[in-house]
Amino acid sequence: MISLLENILLLAERQLPKRRSMWISDLRSEAAHIPGAFAGMCFLLSGVLAALGEVLRVRIGVQRVGQTLLGLAVLTFCLGGLVIGPSIENAVVKQSFYTVLPIYALAGGLALLNLNLMRHFTALCIGALGLFWLIAGLDVFADMDAPVYFFRAFALESAGIMTVLFIAASYLRWADPAARA
């Protein structure tokens, strides 16, 4: 068991940059001096857990975790939309709902794959929805039926959601030191 833990520590040490792994070699050299097999095992086990945590932080990164959570949250929202979609009775609302869901899904997919692309996509959507909101507010459409007003409200709401996604993507990119470098 002790040799297994030592091997895991050695493996973790090799995965980390020198500056972040120095403490692991110090811990390994100390392990030989711990009195008692059980105490030695506990000493190594605690070190292994810390080393694996460090490897996760360095290799995967907090930014990647945030990016995955954001993407999954948006895709779950879309999946929920698909579930409640059939129960919408108003045809106009239903149509708008189904039009906007793939756009959200695309944003969620991009969040998982590429934050920069997601930022550009959400910015484009905000621009397009804002333009639609402005055009639909022109006097030409004043005599039209209620759906124009509904579409305006819907565009505004979608633009709001896209803005939140844009801010989230920008923050995650800013939080990633590699992307900033």
Partner 1 sequence: MTRTRKPSSSTLKILSCLSGSPGGLHGYALMKASGLASGTLYPILGRLSDRGWLEKAWETGDEISGPPRRIYTLTPVGRAQLKDLSDNNLLQSIDARTAQ
Q: Which residues bind partner 1 (CB under 8 A)?
A: 19-20, 22-24, 26-27, 29-30, 32-34, 43-44, 46-51, 54
Q: For partner 1, give the closer residue by CB, 54 or 96.
A: 54
Contact in structure between 56 and 165 (CB atoms under 8 Å): no
On the 0-12 / 13-18 / 19+ scale of CB atoms within 10 A, 162 is: buried
Q: For partner 1, give the closer residue by CB, 40 or 71.
A: 40
Q: How far is CA 53 from CA 2, 76, 77, in A?
A: 19, 28, 30
Q: For partner 1, give the closer residue by CB, 32 or 140.
A: 32
- Please, what is the minimum distance in Å from the beta carbon of residue 24 to partner 1? 7
Q: Identity (one letter) of the amino acid at 27?
A: L
- Please, what is the minimum distance in Å from the beta carbon of residue 13 to partner 1? 12
Contact in structure between 70 and 111 (CB atoms under 8 Å): yes
Q: For partner 1, give the closer residue by CB, 27 or 162.
A: 27
- Please, what is the minimum distance in Å from the beta carbon of residue 75 to partner 1? 33
Contact in structure between 22 and 37 (CB atoms under 8 Å): no
- Please, what is the minimum distance in Å from the beta carbon of residue 15 to partner 1? 15
Measuring CA to CA, which residue among 135, 112, 128, 132 is closest to residue 162? 128
